[in-house]
Amino acid sequence: MRKSITYATILFVAGALTFGACKKKEDTMPTTTTMTKTLYERLGGNDAIKAVVDKFIEYVAADTAINSFFAETVAQNRVDALKMNLVNQIGEGTGGPEKYTGKSMADAHKGMNIQNDDFDALVGDLVKALDFYNVPEQEKGELLDILGPMRSDIVGK
């Protein structure tokens, strides 16, 4: 009898949560249009991604915790190539038409001895750039979920 009551309670709570989540709240529930758009489209496409990447690179350049990792890129005038690679990587990863053709993350970061704190600082700079352009939390979270798994290919290489 006790198991039946516990099981019924769990089903009731699960049902309430499921159906409660279906309640439409104008300012928090995505519209059908929003749900069918790709993350790329919801971010604003190529132009918006370029703007975020530009701001991101600006923040990274000013970030004394990690800007030394980019000194060679700056010295060799490869900042524009880096930006293009980032735009293509984000574009492709979010469902856009861009194609990333750069090195693998492991190869690109080989020998750099990047640590978790460095990676976290980089992510912090990206979040600041996304916040600068008022990217909604949902889209920001989805983008970070796409990029986050790259940590293992970058850290400690």
Per-domain residue ranges of the chain = 37-154
H or E segment at 130? helix 116-132
Burial class (CB in 10 A: 0-12, 13-18, 19+), 151: middle
Domain 37-154: which CATH number of 1.10.490.10, 3.40.190.10, 1.10.10.60, 1.10.8.60:
1.10.490.10
DSSP at 73: H
Contact 51, 135 (CB under 8 A): no
- Per-residue CA distances from 122 to 21, 36, 63, 64, 83 (Å): 34, 30, 9, 11, 14
Query: Does pTM surpass 0.85?
Result: no
Contact 82, 133 (CB under 8 A): no
Q: Please give the chain's pLDDT, 157 residues, in tens.
A: 444 333 333 333 333 333 334 444 444 555 555 568 999 999 999 999 999 999 999 999 999 999 999 999 998 999 999 999 999 999 999 999 999 999 999 999 999 999 999 999 999 999 999 999 999 999 999 999 999 999 999 998 7
- Per-residue CA distances from 116 to 60, 106, 109, 121, 151 (Å): 16, 15, 13, 9, 8
Type of residue found at 113: N
